[in-house]
Homo-oligomer: A and B are copies of this chain.
């Protein structure tokens, strides 16, 4: 999963590790907390060994002018290679069980703008299937096995069931949208607030002021 995410991000611009982590956190913030360096750096090493990215010290071209003190030491910039782009295309196009799990789906979805429509549809439907199954499992539990579980566990299941139902509805919408031809849900104009059409009552006083 990390491999896919890194390759996808480096396709937008070369970056160094710290930056990569920040972008990763921004892009995947909805599904995972923050990528650990303990996985990031080894993965970068692995990608480099496979020839999918290249590593270059970030010494400015005018290095001789400020050689020692301000030398920006250590900063290592990673760039994706042609083989890396190929690898990304291969990873992003392939679907399977691991694509439908929470993390896998999230990462794939985050790169939907680089995924062709047929694959997008396949992933959305596979994810829906997965969540529907989880939902049915929870329904069964709340029905048949309810008396075996204590009230807290039951409440947890109930909350999980609700989340499943909600996600299925969300996926339905996305699938319908996808089939109708238009790419994303609602296009993002410059007004930065996402869409609102169902709920979210309190917009007013929020017009972005500059710093006081």
| A interface with B by C-beta (< 8 Å) | 26-27, 29-31, 33, 101, 106, 109-113, 134, 137-138, 141-161, 163, 166-167, 170, 174, 183-188, 190, 192-196, 208
Distance of A126 Cα from B155 Cα, bound (Å): 19
In contact, B142 and A33 (Cβ under 8 angstroms):
no
Chain B nearest Cβ from A128, distance in angstroms: 14
Least distance between A72 CB and chain B CB atoms (Å): 25
Chain B residues positioned under 8 Å from A167 (CB to CB): 159
Chain B's closest residue to A171 (CB) is B159
Take A184-B152, A194-B147, A195-B151 as given contacts and tell me if A30 and B157 are in contact as well, using a CB distance cutoff of 8 Å: yes
Contact A109 B142, beta carbon cutoff 8 Å: no
